[in-house]
Chain A
Amino acid sequence: MIRMRLTLSQRRAILGIFFILPWLIGFVFLFLAPLIESIRFSFSKLIVAPDGFTLQFIGIANFREALAVDPEFNRVLTQSVLEMLYDVPMILFFSLFMATLLNQKFRGRSVARAIFFLPVILASGAVEAAQQSGLIQMTGSVQAAEDLAQQQTGFDPMMVVRMLGNAGIPEWYVDYISSAITRIYEIISSSGVQILIFLAALQSIPSSMYEVAKIDGATAYEMFWKITFPMVSPLILTNVIYTIIDSFGDSPVTERIYQTAFQTQNFGLSAAMAWLYTLSVSLLLIIVGFLISRRVFYHN
């Protein structure tokens, strides 16, 4: 009888909750609960016993240890956040550029597209780890392996650096560009999804806009900056956020947090580190999101 009295919109609401129920259960028990627990862990000393664990409240000692005592965490955190900031513009620029290229009509376009998205499916931490440790075993040291990997790119960036330096271009800019060139493989392989998103955005721009601009005598350069760029600008925000989030996966900070938890068995410290990382990343996301969203142009 109660069912009969429900209005249509109430019934729809119940149905909607039914649809999201699996996710809701998962969210509460497998996301929210661990999240709150993790906050508790970060303020406690956690002692693992055979039948569970005991918590001992120790205030902000874990955070203090992470920031002031731990020899590496500070450095790794700042380094990886800075690297993130450093990589984002390169990846964005590269992916937008490639998307514009791949959006043009030319012979072999489908093959080119297929090759460009290959890194999306091959971006595997495991493969990287295997190759890295293979090199380390071969040469006997981490440093030598890194040098070797650097050499394997087979390109001497100093030539370009000197050339650009002589041309009177500011040094930091030359450094930035040359580091982009030496790490071209990393940049390419981490911009697959971004290219996909930009490509989709480019294809959603109505072609009539370009036709009108062409009739009015706009050059390709003008059309890019006056039509293409504003139209894809909302996706620039999406891509920045995606790039930042994507770099969590195999960042050295994550590795450090993992090691602290499972090798030194210091779960409280690891939780504190994880929260410091989360906080710095979300701060970064908020700042970047705020700065970009003010400039984004929404067509509709």
Chain B
Amino acid sequence: MAAPKLLDVRGKRLENEGYVIRYQRIRNRSMSWLWSLFRFVLILGIGFIIIRPILQQISVAFKSPEDIYNPTIYMIPVHFTLENIKNALDILNYWPLLRNTLLFVVSTTLMATASCALAGYGFARFEFPGRNILFACVILTILIPASTLMVPMYLHFRNFDVFNLVTLFTGREGLNLLNTYWPSIIMAAFGVGLKSGLYIYIFRQFFRGLPKEIEEAALIDGAGGIRTFLMIMLPNAIPPIITVLLFAFVWQYNDTFYASLFMTNSELMANSVAALPANVNQQLPRLLGIEGTEVRADPNHVAMIVDTGVLLSIAPLIILYLFVQRYFVESVERTGIVG
């Protein structure tokens, strides 16, 4: 008698459980679907906020001046033109400017990476007296704002003289290195340039994470310290090298602080872009052929050319980014900056 009843109860319970499971599955699925939707909308929205200025600049770059006062236009112009780009290229003196800037940025980037890799390795793998204090000094270089050192640095490079060597040999006063590439290159080569402390930190963290056995094996095989570094450690340190190269390149390219401090008159992208609005105001009438008349260039037209110029100045970075963005994202994860 008891057995069928039990079965009955159990059957009912099973059915109940089936409902609960089905209900929960539906709930979970709809919750996760809602979450996906929410996430999608959020990411789309924020992504749009980020790329909207670029889209707008691209739109402006191809917009003909006659479209400026057409209120029905959003983003996609009615009359396309390459005139803006031509004018901006002309006013910026773009190609020589780009060549100079790249030459300068690439050389400082390489210098900074080399010196910071050496220092990072030294701090990570060698015991020497005062190591911790010196590393604290590296952190200090990160923490002290550059504006504190600005005036002494300026005077230093205006009258550059190491140990009075220049005066000793030539009898003249120190060299004026302002408005040359040397101040930034020297600073990068000696590991105190733009954000160098951070790069040293990245390298140190990475080298500390590598197994010690690699070096011991190299030592037993008879490689000296320098050879071990060049042949064994550097090939293993590709992720931090890429990270530092990328960040050093981008930050140096965008830097206005040192550019306006040491190289006010040099042809550098950062300086030219900052001075662009004034230059456009001056030169646009000449390009439009209304020079010498009472007619002034339309301020909206000027703004158009400025926007186009800004787009041209960041174009190299965007193109670079299209190729290396994968490394950019992965690099920080791999360098072990976190651990």
Contact = CB atoms under 8 A, between A and B. Distances in A.
A130 B192 contact: no
Contacts of A23: 115-116, 118-119, 122, 138, 190-192, 196, 200
Nearest to B48: A115
Given A126-B270, A278-B145, A278-B148, A20 B278 contact: no
A118 B46 CA distance: 12
Interface of B: 36, 39-40, 42-43, 46-47, 49-51, 53-54, 115-116, 118-119, 121-123, 125-129, 131, 134, 137-138, 141-156, 159, 162, 173, 186-187, 189-192, 196, 200, 225-226, 229, 250, 253-257, 259-261, 269-271, 273-274, 276-278, 281, 299-300, 302-303, 306-307, 309-310, 313-314, 317-318, 320-321, 325-326, 328-329, 332-333, 337-339
A85 B19 CA distance: 53
A189 B53 CA distance: 12
Nearest to A267: B151
Contact of B147 (A12, A41, A257): A257
A37 B152 contact: yes
A106 B36 contact: yes
A191 to B, nearest CB: 11
A200 B254 contact: no
A235 B339 CA distance: 10
B51 A30 contact: no
A157 interface: no
A52 B254 contact: no
B333 A124 contact: no
Contacts of A204: 338-339
Interface in A3-41: 9, 12-20, 22-27, 29-31, 33-35, 37-38, 41
B206 to A, nearest CB: 12
A19 B224 CA distance: 13
A17 B192 contact: no
A196 B247 CA distance: 13
B89 to A, nearest CB: 16
A15 B126 contact: yes
Contacts of B147: 248, 253-254, 257-258, 274, 277
Contact of A20 (B122, B271, B274, B329): B122
Contact of B257 (A104, A203, A254): A254
Contact of A33 (B115, B126, B152, B278): B152
B332 A197 contact: yes
Interface string A239-265: 000000100111001100110011000
Contact of A19 (B122, B310, B328): B122
B143 A282 contact: yes
Interface stretch (A70-78, A132-140, A222-230): A132-140
Contact of B333 (A9, A53, A203, A249): A203
Contact of A189 (B42, B50, B144, B261): B50
A258 B129 contact: no
Given A26-B187, A31-B192, A281-B145, A52 B159 contact: yes
Contact of B278 (A98, A116, A133, A245): A133
Contact of A124 (B47, B115, B254): B254
A210 interface: no
A30 B262 CA distance: 14
A254 B145 contact: yes
Contact of B325 (A53, A114, A135): A114
Contacts of A114: 321, 325, 329
Given A26-B190, A134-B302, A200 B338 contact: yes
A278 B143 CA distance: 9
A25 to B, nearest CB: 6
8 contacts: A23-B138, A23-B190, A23-B196, A124-B270, A130-B273, A137-B302, A138-B300, A254-B147
B143 A285 contact: yes
B50 A125 contact: no
> Shortest 10 CB-CB distances between A and B: which pairs?
A16-B126, A26-B190, A19-B122, A23-B191, A34-B152, A20-B122, A23-B119, A124-B254, A13-B128, A37-B152
A81 interface: no
B50 to A, nearest CB: 6
Contact of A271 (B53, B151, B254, B299): B151
Nearest to B163: A29
B173 to A, nearest CB: 6
- Residue from the set B50, B146, B162, B276 with the largest chain A CB neighbour count within 10 Å: B50
Contact of A104 (B39, B153, B196, B302): B39
A123 B303 contact: no
B338 A35 contact: no
Contacts of A282: 143
Contact of A130 (B118, B154, B260, B309): B309
A192 to B, nearest CB: 9
A233 to B, nearest CB: 12
